[in-house]
Structure 1
Amino acid sequence: MAFGTQDDTDEVMNEINMTPLVDVMLVLLIIFIITVPVMKNSVPIDLPRATAQPEDIKPETIRLSVAGDGTYFWNEGAIPDEQLEPRLASEAGHQPQPELHIKGDRNVRYERVAKAMAAAQQAGIKKIGFVTDPDGS
């Protein structure tokens, strides 16, 4: 800090330059003005407490296979054509709704697979997937 002018005398200077002190105080004041509202910006609320656990229910998977001769298989069991739509409709009503995986033989007529897809859509099944052989053998 700078003191007042010096004379050739050995007297003690009693004058202090206040400008740097005021600058430091203004900077500290600005810092406190900015940080205090941030620290006290929350509203005190007494929140209710709950002990509910989320349920992760996996939907059932229905495997609908169409054999080379056009026969439908529901999870490895053969079903007649008349029972396909009622079974799909009953499964569509379950919560969570099951996923339908359609597996068609490469020698089956496309019409049989399309009928199964149309029956699933009319029944209200929302998740339909196709099972394929990735290597083509």
Structure 2
Amino acid sequence: MAFSSGSGAGAPMAEINVTPLVDVMLVLLIIFMITAPLMQHKIRIDLPQATINQNPETPPDPIDLAIKEDGSLYWNDSAISDMELKAQLAVTAQRAPQPELQIRAEKATRYEIVAKVMADAKNQGMVKIGFVTTPAPRQ
């Protein structure tokens, strides 16, 4: 509230200063006039559609390929040679859906043996290759 400057007996003025209120209202009006047309812009979003699969296909059992320290290979716990491995990988790569090849190598196995097996699997068309490790013993 404003006070008089001495023309009365020191009584307060009864007038309200509306200039700051009008300034704020004009600024808000301009802001809303600028932003209102921008809010009319629509963005098209293609949401994925949910489908119900009546016959869910179970994934095939993974193939366990063990590599021993000396380089010997075991396909699902049965011994296999390098040539038989390539043949088995070629046959398995043609299956649909393709099973995962899980390589389980001993700790002391040389990396070049594991790399050769992975290269053979890739060259035969295997795309799902995983590694299996044994957990460390608890003390």
TM-score (norm 1): 0.58
Deviations 1:33-77 (A, max 9, x none): xxxxxxxxxxxxxxxxxxx82322212210000011110000000
Partner-residue secondary structure (3-state), 2:101: strand
Q: Distance in 2 between matches of 1:86 and 1:115?
A: 15
Q: Which residue of 1 aligns with 2:95?
A: 94
Structure 2: gaps (5+ residues)? 1-52
Q: Tell me the matched-pair count.
A: 87
Partner-residue secondary structure (3-state), 1:53: coil
* Root mean square deviation, CA, Å: 2.0
Aligned runs of 1:33-44 on 2, under 5 Å?
Answer: none
Structure 1 residue 107 and structure 2 residue 94: aligned? Answer: no
Q: Distance in 2 between matches of 1:125 and 1:60?
A: 15
Contact 1:60/1:97 (CA < 8 Å) preserved in 2?
Answer: no
Q: Which residue of 1 aligns with 2:17?
A: none
Structure 1: which amino acid aligns with 2:56?
E
Deviations 1:76-121 (A, max 9, x none): 0000111111110100000110100000011111111111100111
Contact 1:89/1:123 (CA < 8 Å) preserved in 2?
Answer: yes
The alpha-carbon deviation at position 133 of structure 1 amounts to 2.0
Aligned runs of 1:1-137 on 2, under 5 Å?
Answer: 53-135=54-136
Identity %, equivalent residues = 44
TM-score (norm 2): 0.58
The alpha-carbon deviation at position 136 of structure 1 amounts to 6.2
Partner-residue secondary structure (3-state), 2:66: strand
Structure 1: gaps (5+ residues)? 1-51
